[in-house]
Amino acid sequence: SKAWHLIRRPQGLPSRDDFALRELPDEPLEADQLRIRNLWLSVDPYMRGRMNDAKSYAAGFQLDQPMTGGAIGEVLESRMEGFAPGDLILHMGGWRDGGIIGLDMMPNRLPADLLATGLSPQTFLHNMGLTGGTAWIGLLRIAAARPGDTVFVSAAAGAVGSAVVQIAKAREMTVIGSAGGAEKGRWVDDLGADAVIDYKAGPVLPQLAAALERLGKPGIDVYFDNVGGEHLDAAFATANDFARFAICGMIDVYNDGKAQEMSYLVRTIPARIRMEGFIYTDQFIDCAEEFYADMGGLIASGAVLMRETVRDGLDAAPDAFLGLFSGENIGKMLVRL
Ligand code: NDP
């Protein structure tokens, strides 16, 4: 068997020279190992991150080692409990045609009852697996999308995005999908999206705004982000109050080290950061009593110090205000009359 090895850490867009196909040793099976032949390999955008020498949620690829990734294989020989020759498995020993895998490749038998319904094995690499699961969780759990919501999804013609469009349509949401090019647009339209944006034909925001207007919607309730960058910005621009954003991917920056250095927004994903805008007045009434007691105690005990920057006279008011933007204040900026 052979496997792709990463032989060099790519700078920017990876190139073929970063990878080498190398022979795997053919050895007798040890306990808790399977000999397999792979049927389907998954390639996923997150793998780009694994090619960097940086810590992330998925361990980085080691140089000169076989790469790994989602795959569907058939068991040829088993010394692992629960597996027998002929079993179809989902596992992480991808990027190779087969060979020996152990428990670290997380083999799981494909559910026979589901295969019996006619699902193809490779479905477990997409709609019944990583990408469909990501779409489902992101849309329904993370963004808590509900019937009636207006959902915007980027990379809508891709694996995750196309599942998002369809799950949302099945739950009676209005869906606007963005994809690059007319052909992809037609596919997103075929999936049932209410409006389609071609981000390669022009800037995203004007197209998104026009789509919302056509649909008679004031803005978006949910943004499912696969792309980041301009799409994310357009989503912010059109978000309704209490909109929910599921930040799934930012493929726009995966090959752009510079952009990743300039903006750490992409860390939302590996660090599972939850963002939520809020307004003080929404919350305050409910917690005023608790707040006064707690903060009063902290101030009284000296745990919370107060500092003021004071400008005198009403005339000073505009400058005091503008001073906030040039950082003239330490502590609270106040105008004393
Ligand atoms: P896709 O099938 O969507 O393939 C990627 C697509 O992204 C391409 O087809 C392309 O479509 C689009 N694309 C590529 N570069 C750009 C760019 N610069 N600007 C805009 N669009 C671009 O891949 P997946 O469905 O597997 O993944 C989609 C996203 O979901 C990725 O960001 C991925 O990292 C993320 N993901 C996150 C997971 C998680 O657990 N958080 C799990 C799985 C995926 P087009 O022609 O329309 O440009």
Q: Is residue 327 part of a domain?
A: yes
Q: Is residue 312 part of a domain?
A: yes
Does 135 share its domain with 114? no
The residue whose CA has the least distance to atom 19 of ligand 1 is 252
Count of other CB atoms within 10 angstroms of residue 307: 8
Does ligand 1 lie within 6 Å of residue 191's CB atom? no
Q: Is residue 17 part of a domain?
A: yes
Q: Is residue 161 part of a domain?
A: yes
Q: Is residue 125 part of a domain?
A: no
Domain boundary among 66, 94, 120: 120
Ligand 1 centroid to 46 CA: how many Å?
9
Residues 6+ away with beta carbon under 8 Å from 108 = 89, 90, 91
Does 85 share its domain with 211? no
Does 15 share its domain with 136? no
Q: How many domains does the chain have?
A: 3
Q: Is residue 274 part of a domain?
A: no
What whole-number distance in Å separates Cα of residue 129 and Cα of residue 115? 13
Does 116 share its domain with 245? no
Residues 6+ away with beta carbon under 8 Å from 1 = 23, 24, 26, 96, 97, 98, 99
Q: Is residue 19 part of a domain?
A: yes
Asked if 33 and 99 count as a contact pair (C-beta separation under 8 A), the reply is: no
CATH of the domain at 201: 3.40.50.720
Per-residue pLDDT of the chain (337 residues; tens, 9 = 90+): 999 999 999 999 999 899 999 999 999 999 999 999 999 999 999 999 999 987 777 789 999 999 999 999 999 999 999 999 999 999 999 999 999 999 999 999 999 999 999 999 999 999 999 999 999 999 999 999 999 999 999 999 999 999 999 999 999 999 999 999 999 999 999 999 999 999 999 999 999 999 999 999 999 999 999 999 999 999 999 999 999 999 999 999 888 887 877 788 988 998 899 988 888 888 888 888 998 899 899 989 988 888 899 999 999 999 999 999 889 999 889 999 9
Of how many residues is the chain composed? 337
Does ligand 1 lie within 6 Å of residue 165's CB atom? no
pTM beyond 0.90, yes or no: yes
Does 231 share its domain with 295? no
Q: Is residue 275 part of a domain?
A: no
Does ligand 1 lie within 6 Å of residue 232's CB atom? no
Q: Nearest to residue 195, comparing CAs of 176, 214, 179, 213? A: 176
**Domain assignment of residue 30, given as a range:** 2-120
Does 139 share its domain with 261? yes
Does 241 share its domain with 176? yes
Does ligand 1 lie within 6 Å of residue 249's CB atom? yes
What whole-number distance in Å separates Cα of residue 239 and Cα of residue 222? 8
Beta strands in 277-328 (DSSP E): 308-312
Does 245 share its domain with 301? no
Does 99 share its domain with 212? no
Residue 42: strand, helix, or coil: coil
Does 104 share its domain with 190? no
What whole-number distance in Å separates Cα of residue 69 and Cα of residue 92? 5
Does 261 share its domain with 136? yes
Ligand 1 centroid to 125 CA: how many Å?
15
Domain boundary among 216, 242, 268: 268
Ligand 1 centroid to 130 CA: how many Å?
13
What whole-number distance in Å separates Cα of residue 302 and Cα of residue 293? 14
Residues 6+ away with beta carbon under 8 Å from 196 = 156, 176, 177, 178, 179, 185, 188, 189, 211
Does ligand 1 lie within 6 Å of residue 248's CB atom? yes
What whole-number distance in Å separates Cα of residue 303 and Cα of residue 270? 34
The residue whose CA has the least distance to atom 39 of ligand 1 is 248
Closest ligand 1 atom to the C-alpha of 229? 19
DSSP state of 142: I
Pairing mode, strands 33-41 and 71-78: antiparallel
- CA 312 vs. chain centroid, Å, equals 50
Closest ligand 1 atom to the C-alpha of 248? 41
Does 72 share its domain with 175? no
